[in-house]
Amino acid sequence: DVKVTQSSRYLVKRTGEKVFLECVQDMDHENMFWYRQDPGLGLRLIYFSYDVKMKEKGDIPEGYSVSREKKERFSLILESASTNQTSMYLCASSPNYNQPQHFGDGTRLSIL
């Protein structure tokens, strides 16, 4: 089975902090994705990557950056956390565009 692991299930940070959310997949997938999920808004794509060191902006990239130095790891970075970034963050991976994305368990991030 595909395993997508997010480093933290729950995280509490303060406004202005630099926050790192880590995601690791064990199936050698090419594509990796970061979403945020908010009530009534569904999942919105922040950034994605289809190869090592490659990244593409999703629908809501402002305030975020990403890093993919190794194929299995995709990191989401909040450069200077703000309260409106309190949300559930979901990481996903897929081998190619015709295959379903496999998700991690999510990180509930609270910015105080």
Residues near another protein (CB under 8 A): 31, 33, 35, 40-45, 48, 50, 56, 58, 88, 90, 92, 97-98, 100-106, 108
Nearest distance from C-beta of residue 106 to another protein, angstroms: 5
Q: Name the minimum Å distance from CB 41 to another protein.
A: 6
Give the containing element (helix H, strand E) for 67: strand 64-70
Token pair belonging to 25: 């997949």
CA distance 92 to 42: 15
Instruction: Supply the minimum distance, in Å, between the C-beta of residue 1 and another protein.
Output: 12
Distances (CA, A) of 88 to 37, 52, 53: 5, 25, 25
Beta-strand relationship, 73-78 and 42-49? unpaired
